[in-house]
Chains A and B, each alone.
Chain A
Amino acid sequence: MKSLLEIKNVTVRFGGVTAVDGVSLSLGKGELIGFIGPNGAGKTTLMRVITGMVKPNEGEVILEGKDLSRLPIHERVSSGLSLAQQIVRPLVSFHALDNVILACGKKKTENVLSSLFHKDTSEESEKAKDLLTQVGLADSFYNFPETMPLGHLKRLELARALALDPKLLLLDEPLAGLNQLEARKLSDLIVTLNQKGQSILLIEHNLKEVIRICKKIYVQDNGRFLAFGETAEVMSNIEVQNAYLGKNKNA
């Protein structure tokens, strides 16, 4: 399998804390990889390194053979990444539909001058409605973020990430804040997307769902690589179990 994303030797230090410590990871085209680890393992930080929101002290991020390491965020996104963040960040002055429409309009907003000469949104609006319906927000098109519950905002975040038609979809805890039924439905959607060819890197604490839907799992603990491989194999790894149990004892 040809690799789509390659992370090489990434290290991130925040003052004295080493949030990510010499991590390498590769994801093949069409794969869905679960990315797990206890709280504070540096999962979100690694995602933010991939998108360029955090500059690593060391390391490289390569997408389809193209080195993204020096590119600003928006160029990485137009190279084919998109991220649904753990802490949802909707545009609060836009209703749900407009949030997604803006992301659908990538072609029209790429260039400043051409954005000036385009007004029509019918195409983007259709696509945005379709995406919102897919994530189960068919009844919330015109709701503003401040009136939406967290579960809905999470799905809005996902719809907006999908709207960018990414080669690689990065999901940071999309199931958090959803009840069991909603979580199951959303992970089914993630599987469906993957079956249609969408490559996905999925951070998730909901182990039950991760184990159910991901064939491969990558585990990180305290910023360090812990395990990577077939789901069953990784989950029976004694170190992985310790990392989780140890954390639970503290909690």
Chain B
Amino acid sequence: MDYEITLLTTMSISILFALGLNFVTGFCGQISLGHAAFLGTGAYTSALMTKASIPFLITLPASAMTAGCLGFFIGLASLRVRHDFLAITTMGVGFLFVGIVRQQDFFGGEEGISGISSPGFSRFGFLLLCIALTLLFAFFSTAIKRSWMGRVFESIADDEDITSILGINVAHYKIFAFVVGTSVAGVAGALYAHHLRFIGPDSFGFVESVSVLAMVIIGGVGSVWAVSFSAALLSVLPMLIQFVDDYKLLFYSGLLFSMMRFSPGGMASIVKKMKTNNEKSS
């Protein structure tokens, strides 16, 4: 039973993390190749705080805030650089994060932080908390998608210049997307730290950023449920299949590439196509 709980907790945290990126990349069309840095920011914030005997639940909003503040600045950067340049910038932020964490004793340096205290729940209780937060954000995401904000995001993803000629303040919307998407990654990071009880610079590197992007793109950018499904699946693969664990970067970037090549809309668009084909044939 313990094993199943671990598996489900991992899944749930990954879904939350992926939905955070989906908010930025899927909804608003802003690519990020450094999203693991925000997961890491949240994880370190929370771990350092509980080490200082601050209750875990209080560290959740704190982690959201530190990651969200960092996200705010990336949001500002996204006003200056677009598309591929934004991908490179965010990738740089990811490397910078790992670099800084690695150098500072305050963050545990190369060794990271181990012996993170228990969140104060049973393993099952912790799982329920993870699921609750993930569901909460999933429903929030679908609500946003149907709101006027969702329309504006879609329009920005489609064409920023047109969106501004329609009188819309694109900058505000983009920054909002970054702040929300990165705060959520921060919360996921806090959960992650207290799930594994150990974090180190390597937990939040480029591989993690690529895998979460793969989850979003393979699910189908913007589609909340498809992204959740692909995140659930891809997050546990390395635990189930040794090969995937050994060749993570190769595996995820291979998947990412083939998806972009053969079905740019991700699984969501494959399902959609199958549906319409079925309707046609029936």
Enumerate chain A interface residues (CB-CB to B < 8 A): 51, 53, 72-75, 77-78, 82-83, 85, 89-94, 98, 101-103, 105-106, 108-110, 112, 115-119, 121, 160, 164
Contacts and interface: CB of A to CB of B under 8 A. Distances in A.
Contact of B165 (A73, A92, A93, A98): A73
Contacts of B163: 91
Contact of B149 (A91, A112, A121): A112
B152 interface: yes
Which 8 residue pairs of A and B lie closest in terms of their CB atoms, listed nearest first?
A: A77-B167, A115-B148, A115-B149, A73-B164, A91-B158, A108-B148, A74-B164, A112-B172
Contact of A53 (B154, B165, B172): B165
Given A73-B165, A74-B165, A160-B166, 15 more contacts: A53-B161, A74-B167, A77-B165, A77-B167, A78-B167, A82-B167, A103-B166, A105-B151, A106-B166, A108-B148, A110-B169, A112-B149, A115-B152, A116-B147, A164-B166
B11 to A, nearest CB: 28
B164 A72 contact: yes
B223 interface: no
A119 B164 contact: no
B153 to A, nearest CB: 9
A98 B146 CA distance: 13
Main secondary structure of the interface of B (DSSP, over half): helix
B59 interface: no
A132 B226 CA distance: 34
Contacts of B161: 53, 89
Contact of A91 (B146, B147, B148, B159): B159
B169 A118 contact: no
B162 A89 contact: yes
Contacts of B147: 115-119
A160 B167 CA distance: 11
Given A94-B154, A94-B158, A109 B144 contact: no
Contacts of A160: 166
Contacts of A115: 147-149, 152, 173
Nearest to B153: A115
A250 to B, nearest CB: 32
Interface residues of B, number: 25
A77 B168 CA distance: 9
Contacts of B173: 112, 115
Contacts of B152: 102, 109, 115
A116 B149 contact: yes
A93 B169 contact: no
Contacts of A51: 165
B154 A93 contact: yes
Given A112-B176, A116-B144, A118-B148, A106 B158 contact: no
A94 B148 CA distance: 14
28 contacts: A51-B165, A53-B165, A73-B164, A74-B170, A75-B169, A77-B166, A77-B167, A82-B165, A82-B167, A90-B162, A91-B154, A91-B155, A91-B159, A91-B163, A93-B157, A94-B154, A98-B151, A103-B167, A106-B166, A109-B152, A109-B167, A110-B169, A112-B169, A112-B172, A112-B176, A115-B147, A116-B148, A116-B149
Contacts of A98: 151
Contacts of A72: 164
Contacts of B167: 74, 77-78, 82, 103, 106, 109-110, 164
B168 A74 contact: yes
A240 B172 CA distance: 46
A91 B165 contact: no
Given A74-B168, A94-B154, A89 B159 contact: yes
Interface in B200-247: none
Contacts of A78: 167
A53 B155 CA distance: 18
